[in-house]
């Protein structure tokens, strides 16, 4: 049985996966890029009420669907995180 994905974008359904939440992305690449940029811009203003710094990684996740440079950076981060988590669990001795 395939392992469930807990964070990322499902390329088949074009949905953002955040734990158990699934949010669909628009079909238009221009609209996806616009949403990603707006999320990042809102995240930069995260010190204001309602907006938050959590919007920056979400915006980068949306942009990674269409922009190869961002996609490569996200994949590198995911690989690093998996390796780091794997090494930490093995060395914890619990």
Tens digit of pLDDT for each residue in 24-44? 888 899 999 999 999 999 999
Question: Residue 44: which of 36, 35, 32, 53 has the closest Cα?
Answer: 53
Does this model's pTM top 0.75? Answer: no
Cα–Cα distance, 34 to 81 (Å, whole number): 28
Question: Which residue(s) pair with 10 in the sheet?
Answer: 15
Contact 16, 62 (CB under 8 A): yes
Sign of CA dihedral 24, 76, 60, 55: positive
User: Residues 37-52: what's their mean pLDDT?
Assistant: 89
Q: Which two tokens stand for residue 59?
A: 């915006």
Q: Confidence band (pLDDT; 50, 70, 90) for 3?
A: low
């Amino acid at each position: 049985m395939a392992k469930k994905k807990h964070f990322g974008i499902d390329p088949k359904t074009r949905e953002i996966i955040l734990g158990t939440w699934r949010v669909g992305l628009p079909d238009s690449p221009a609209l996806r890029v616009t949403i990603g940029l707006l999320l990042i811009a809102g995240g930069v203003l995260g010190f204001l009420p309602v907006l938050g710094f959590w919007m920056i990684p979400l915006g980068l996740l949306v942009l990674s669907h269409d922009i190869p440079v961002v996609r490569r950076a996200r994949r590198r981060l995911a690989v690093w995180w998996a390796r780091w988590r794997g090494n930490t669990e093995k060395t914890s001795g619990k």
